Amino acid sequence: MRILLSNDDGIYAPGLAALYEAVRSLGDVSVVAPSGEQSAVGHAITLSDPIKTKKIFRNGEFFGHAVGGTPADCVKLAACALLDRRPDLVISGINLGPNAGISVIYSGTVSAATEGTILGIPSMAISIGTFKDPLWETAARVARHLASMVHRDGLPPRTLLNVNVPNLPLEQIRGFAITRMGESRFVETFDRRTDPRGNVYYWMDGALEQSGETEGSDLDALNQGYVSLTPIWFDLTNRDALPVLRKWDLARPADWPKT
């Protein structure tokens, strides 16, 4: 199988190296990843600027392409231009820090997998549930296990797998939980400062807030020591809201009251 790896922490990130080592014996592995950190870029793509690429070598051996763009750019460019053949599987990660709850919509890691899914390639995003002292080996073993499964069994149509792995030794992982994206989110604060020339700027900061129903959510599973598997897609329609809106009294513009 042909596997494309990407991420949002950049081509030199240790999580990507761990993923590469874990899956390289499964098939023909290509790496196309951002040249620098691209966290929280969401599903940004580069339309108005050129996208630079550079071949990266490790220990004298070709490792992959560094791309001066976003994670979504990387997957598009890989599938449409850089690779000789279309990949059979896209894996994005391993991200340092969880991608769970509302944070998923800001995630560059998930967006690379979303892009694979849009292109019709089975795709998964994998993240580790810590920002420090990551046990890469656990998440890398999980990635390898799931890569084989997804390649064998496929994924539901237009759906990627968002994987969050607890930061525990492999033998302490309690198993897998099929979850929904939760509603926990970072509640932002802005630190206002003034530069030496009197101009105002802000630094965004924030703290994670659990909100909404947490049972069955991605973060809940992670906190309980399970690998969280969330089926994610890119159809943003709230279907439950369609009948509500259809009841609105929407006159044609010609019949609007004069204002």
For residues 129-158, which are near its own copies according to CB under 8 A?
141-142, 144-145, 149, 153, 155-156, 158
Q: How far is the CB of 61 from its own copies (least distance, A)?
A: 20
Cα gap 138→143, rounded to integer Å = 9
Q: Does 18 bind its own copies (CB under 8 A)?
A: no
* Residue closest to 6 by CA, chosen among 126, 130, 97: 126
**Closest residue by Cα to residue 7 from 25, 34, 27, 46:** 34
Compute the least distance from the CB of residue 133 to its own copies, in Å: 20
**What is the helix (H) or strand (E) element at residue 164, kind and residue range?**
strand 159-165
The only residue of 3, 18, 32, 77 in contact with its own copies, by rule CB under 8 A: 77
| Residue 110 parent element (H or E) | helix 108-118
User: Tokens 């003034």 appear where?
Assistant: 194
Cα separation, 258 vs 239, whole angstroms: 33
* The binder of its own copies chosen from 6, 111, 127, 164 (CB under 8 A): 111
Q: What is the rounded distance in angstroms from the CA atom of residue 185 to the CA atom of residue 103?
A: 6
The residue among 165, 89, 85 whose CA lies nearest residue 128 is 165
| Residues 41-60 within binding reach of its own copies (CB under 8 A) | 41-48, 50-54
Q: Nearest approach, Cβ of 5 to its own copies (angstroms)?
A: 18
Please state, in angstroms and rounded to a whole number, the distance separating the CA atoms of residues 125 and 123. Answer: 7
Question: Does residue number 27 form part of the binding site for its own copies (CB under 8 A)?
Answer: no
In this chain, which of 84, 198, 235, 258 binds its own copies, going by CB under 8 A? 235
Q: Which of 11, 18, 72, 112 binds its own copies (CB under 8 A)?
A: 72
- Rounded least distance, CB 229 to its own copies, Å: 6
Q: Rule CB under 8 A: choose which of 159, 210, 214, 223 binds its own copies.
A: 159
Alpha carbon distance 100, 232 (integer Å): 11
Can you name the residues that pair with 250 across neighbouring β-strands?
A: none
Number of chain positions touching its own copies (CB under 8 A):
87
Q: Segment 209-228, which members bind its own copies (CB under 8 A)? A: none
What is the SS3 assignment for 106? Answer: helix
Residue appearing with tokens 């002292």? 133
Is residue 19 within 8 A of residue 31, CB to CB? The reply is no
Q: Is 201 in the site for its own copies (CB under 8 A)?
A: yes
In total, the chain counts a number of residues equal to: 259
Nearer to its own copies, 47 or 61 (CB): 47
Q: Given the complex with its own copies, which of 59 and 254 has the nearer CB atom? A: 254
* Minimum separation from the CB atom of position 245 to its own copies (A): 5
Instruction: Determine which residue in the list 32, 98, 185, 220 makes contact with its own copies, applying CB under 8 A.
Output: 185
Min CB(26)–its own copies separation in Å: 9
Q: Please pick, from the candidates 83, 176, 208, 210, the single residue that binds its own copies as defined by CB under 8 A.
A: 176
